C-alpha cells in the first residue's frame, strides 16, 4: 500500500487518462446547478509516498478540500480496488464504485469504516463525502450498494470572533462549517493587531497557509484550527520577520567588512613597500653619508690614525691633522651603530681602516657648537692624553640636508657617568680617575707662551657625562662646544656666539645669581673648579671603604628634582648655601677624608676662595705618593 497526501482540485482530463487509477469521488458543486460530477484520483509514483487527489466539476477548477489517502491494489469488501480516505485524527473510510443513474457515469460513495486511526471528530471532507452520498441515495438517482454510509448532517463549529464578526454575532461568537482562525497583522507604525473569526470551507486552504511579508506591504499571519469549538482562542500567530531589511543590513555589514579589510590591506601593502624601499636606500647609502671611498693620494696606504697624528704633532704645527687629510678620513669612515644621543646631536661608532672611531653628528641647529668645538680642538698645542683625541671634522650636505660631524677617539667604557653607575672604585682607581681628570682640566686652564703658544681655555660645561673613561682607568675631558678662550695679547675673553648654556645642576653660585664677571677670564676658571668638585663627590661616593659603598647619585639629588630649574638650584646653592653631604664613613678613611676636604675648598661660595686645577692636581699627586700609588 502506498500512502499519499494531496488536495482536491478540478482537473477534467484526468478521467480520460488511461495511465491513471481512475477512482470516483462524489462531491456537491456550488456551481452548475449544484449537480453531481465525476472525477479521477491520480496515483503517486511508486516510492514517492505522495500523490494528488483530483476531481472535475463543470469543467471549472476549484479547490475543495485536503485529504490523506491510501491507494490500495487489493479488493475491498465489495471486491473492488479503490481509495481509502483517512480523516485526520478520525476514522478511515473506503469509497466504492457506483453507477450514476441516467448518465452511465461511475461514482464512488463511502461504504463504511475500514479501520480506526484515533479519536477525534470526522473531518469536514468526510462529512461532505457521506452527505453527498446520502443525498444521492435519497434522490433516487441510483441504487445504493449494500454497506453504504448513511446520510450525515454537516458539522458546525463555534469560533471566537473579533473584528471579523458577522452582523448577527452574539458575544463575539460565530458559527461555520469550515475553520476557526486567528490573524495578526501589522498596522501603520508597526503596531501588531490581533483579530479572529470564522472561515468557510471553500478557499480555506489558501487563507490558512497565508503569510505576507514585505517592505512596502503590511505583514500578517493567519492560523486556523478545527479541533474544537472556540479553538482559535489558543492560537497565537506571530508576525513574520522583515527579511528584506535583514538582508540589506547583512549586506551592508558584509560590505563594510569587505571595504575595511581592503583598505587595511592596501595600507599595509603601502607600509611594507615604503619600509622596503627605505631599507634598500639605507643599505645603498649609510645614514650620514659616511662611506668608504677610494684612498686619497696624499695619504700613504697602511698609515694608522696614531701614525698620522704623531707625524702631525712632530711637524711642529700642534694643531692636529691637515685639513685635506681630515676631509679624506671623514669620507672614508664607515658608520657602525649609534652609541649615544644628546641635546646637540648623536654619537656613532665608526671604523676607519679597521680602527674604531667616534663620530659626533650635530643637529643643524647646533652648527655654532660644532664650529666652536672644532675650533678649540684645532688650537695649537691642544692635544693632551687627558683631553679627548680629535681626529677630523667635516661638513657634508646637499640642497636639502646638511651633516655636521666631528670625529674623535672612541672609548668603549663610555662616560664617567655610565662608568660610575655600573662600577665601584677602590682608593687606587679613585685617585687615578680624579688625577687624570684634573690633569686634563689643568691643561685646558693653562696658557702656554711662545711662538706657537696655547691660550688658556675654560670648559664651562663640566659634568660626569662630559668626561670619558679610557681602558687604562684614566679620564679624558670631552665636549668643548661651550669653551671660552683667553687672548692674552688683547686681554679679551673669546666667548662662543651660541645660545647654548651649561647644565643647571653643575652651575656655580655666581652663574645662578648672575653675578659672574663675564669680562674676567679667571671667573670662568673658578666656575669650572666648582663643577669639578661635584664630579669628585660623585667619584668618592662609589669608592668602597670598610665594605660599604653608596649607590650612584647625581649631586643635590636629595634637594632638587630630577630636572631642576634655575629657581630650584638658586634656592639650594645661593640662598640656603647647601652642598652635597658626606657619608659618615669618609671620616674613618684617610683618602676619602682628604677628598672631602678638596671638595669643600673647590665648591666654596666665593670664587676667590676656591682651589685652582693645578693646586688640586698637586694635592692628588701627593696623596698618591703617601699611599704608594703610582698614577
Start-to-end CA span in the chain (Å): 121
Give the 3-state secondary structure percentages of the chain, helix then strand then coil, rounded to 5.
Answer: 35, 25, 45
Q: What is the largest CA-CA distance in the chain?
A: 160
- Which residues form the catalytic set? 461
Distance CA 230, CA 452 (A): 127
- For residue 70, the cross-strand partners are 3, 84
Q: Which triple of cell numbers denotes residue 7?
A: 488536495
Tell me: is residue 504 an annotated ligand-binding position: no
Rounded-to-10 torsion of CA 429, 619, 389, 368: 120
Helix (H) or strand (E) holding 523: helix 521-541
Decide: 405 and 393 in contact? Cβ < 8 Å: yes
Distance CA 336, CA 219 (A): 76
DSSP assignment letter at 575? I
Q: Which triple of cell numbers denotes residue 271?
A: 607600509
Distances, alpha carbon 64 to alpha carbons 222, 235, 277, 546, in Å: 19, 24, 80, 116
Decide: 225 and 232 in contact? Cβ < 8 Å: yes
DSSP secondary structure string, 562-574? SS--HHHHIIIII
3-state secondary structure of 440: helix
Helix (H) or strand (E) holding 357: strand 355-362
Q: How far is C-alpha 247 from the chain's CA centre?
A: 30
Helix axes 613-626 and 521-541, enclosed angle (nearest 10): 30
Strand order in the sheet with 355-362: 334-341, 345-352, 355-362, 402-409, 390-397
Residue ranges of the binding site for ATP: 360
Amino acid at each position: 500500500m502506498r500512502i499519499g497526501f494531496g488536495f482536491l482540485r478540478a482537473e477534467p482530463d484526468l478521467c480520460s487518462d488511461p495511465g491513471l487509477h481512475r477512482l470516483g469521488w462524489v462531491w456537491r458543486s456550488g456551481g452548475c446547478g449544484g449537480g453531481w460530477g465525476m472525477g479521477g484520483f491520480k496515483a503517486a509514483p511508486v516510492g514517492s509516498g505522495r500523490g494528488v487527489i483530483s476531481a472535475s466539476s463543470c469543467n471549472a477548477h476549484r479547490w475543495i478540500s485536503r485529504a490523506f489517502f491510501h491507494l490500495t491494489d487489493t479488493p475491498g469488501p465489495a471486491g473492488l480496488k479503490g481509495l481509502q480516505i483517512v480523516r485526520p485524527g478520525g476514522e478511515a473510510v473506503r469509497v466504492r464504485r457506483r453507477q450514476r443513474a441516467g448518465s452511465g457515469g461511475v461514482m464512488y460513495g463511502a461504504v463504511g469504516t475500514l479501520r480506526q486511526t484515533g479519536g477525534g471528530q470526522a473531518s469536514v471532507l468526510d462529512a461532505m463525502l457521506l452527505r453527498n452520498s446520502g443525498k444521492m441515495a435519497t434522490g433516487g438517482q441510483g441504487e445504493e450498494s449494500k454497506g453504504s454510509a448513511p446520510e450525515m448532517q454537516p458539522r458546525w463549529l463555534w469560533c471566537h470572533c473579533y473584528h471579523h464578526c458577522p452582523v448577527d454575532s452574539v458575544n463575539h461568537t460565530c458559527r461555520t462549517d469550515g475553520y476557526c482562525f486567528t490573524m495578526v497583522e501589522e498596522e501603520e507604525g508597526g503596531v501588531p493587531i490581533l483579530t479572529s473569526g470564522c472561515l468557510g470551507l471553500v478557499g480555506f486552504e489558501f487563507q490558512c497557509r497565508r503569510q505576507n511579508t514585505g517592505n512596502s506591504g503590511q505583514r500578517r499571519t493567519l492560523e486556523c484550527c478545527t479541533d474544537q469549538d472556540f479553538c482559535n482562542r489558543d492560537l497565537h500567530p506571530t508576525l513574520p520577520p522583515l527579511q528584506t531589511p535583514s538582508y540589506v543590513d547583512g549586506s551592508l555589514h558584509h560590505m563594510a567588512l569587505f571595504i575595511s579589510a581592503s583598505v587595511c590591506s592596501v595600507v599595509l601593502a603601502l607600509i611594507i613597500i615604503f619600509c622596503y624601499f627605505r631599507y634598500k636606500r639605507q643599505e645603498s647609502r649609510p645614514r650620514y653619508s659616511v662611506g668608504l671611498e677610494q684612498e686619497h693620494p696624499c695619504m700613504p696606504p697602511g698609515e694608522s690614525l696614531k701614525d698620522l697624528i704623531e707625524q702631525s704633532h712632530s711637524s711642529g704645527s700642534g694643531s692636529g691633522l691637515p685639513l685635506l687629510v681630515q676631509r679624506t678620513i671623514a669620507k672614508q669612515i664607515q658608520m657602525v651603530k649609534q652609541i649615544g644621543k644628546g641635546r646637540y646631536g648623536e654619537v656613532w661608532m665608526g671604523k676607519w681602516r679597521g680602527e674604531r672611531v667616534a663620530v659626533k653628528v650635530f643637529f643643524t641647529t647646533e652648527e655654532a657648537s660644532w664650529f666652536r668645538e672644532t675650533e678649540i680642538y684645532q688650537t695649537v698645542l691642544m692635544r693632551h692624553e687627558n683631553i679627548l683625541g680629535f681626529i677630523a671634522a667635516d661638513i657634508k650636505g646637499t640642497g636639502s640636508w646638511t651633516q655636521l660631524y666631528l670625529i674623535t677617539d672612541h672609548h668603549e667604557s663610555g662616560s664617567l657617568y655610565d662608568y660610575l653607575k655600573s662600577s665601584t672604585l677602590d682608593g687606587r682607581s679613585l685617585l687615578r680617575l680624579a688625577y687624570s681628570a684634573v690633569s686634563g682640566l689643568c691643561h685646558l686652564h693653562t696658557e702656554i707662551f711662545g711662538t706657537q703658544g696655547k691660550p688658556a681655555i675654560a670648559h664651562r660645561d663640566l659634568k660626569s657625562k662630559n668626561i670619558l673613561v679610557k681602558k687604562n682607568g684614566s679620564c679624558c675631558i670631552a665636549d668643548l662646544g661651550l669653551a671660552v678662550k683667553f687672548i692674552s695679547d688683547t686681554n679679551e675673553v673669546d666667548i662662543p656666539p651660541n645660545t647654548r648654556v651649561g647644565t643647571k645642576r653643575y652651575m656655580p653660585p655666581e652663574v645662578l645669581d648672575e653675578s659672574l664677571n663675564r669680562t674676567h677670564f679667571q671667573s670662568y676658571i673658578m666656575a669650572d673648579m666648582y663643577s669639578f668638585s661635584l664630579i669628585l663627590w660623585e667619584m668618592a661616593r662609589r669608592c668602597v671603604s670598610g665594605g660599604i659603598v653608596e649607590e650612584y647619585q647625581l649631586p643635590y639629588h636629595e634637594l632638587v628634582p630630577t630636572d631642576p630649574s634655575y629657581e630650584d638650584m638658586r634656592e639650594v646653592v645661593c640662598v640656603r648655601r647647601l652642598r652635597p653631604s658626606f657619608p659618615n664613613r669618609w671620616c674613618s678613611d684617610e683618602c676619602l677624608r682628604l677628598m672631602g676636604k678638596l671638595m669643600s675648598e673647590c665648591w666654596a661660595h666665593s670664587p676667590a676662595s676656591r682651589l685652582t686645577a693645578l693646586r688640586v692636581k698637586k694635592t692628588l699627586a701627593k696623596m698618591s705618593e703617601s699611599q704608594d700609588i703610582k698614577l
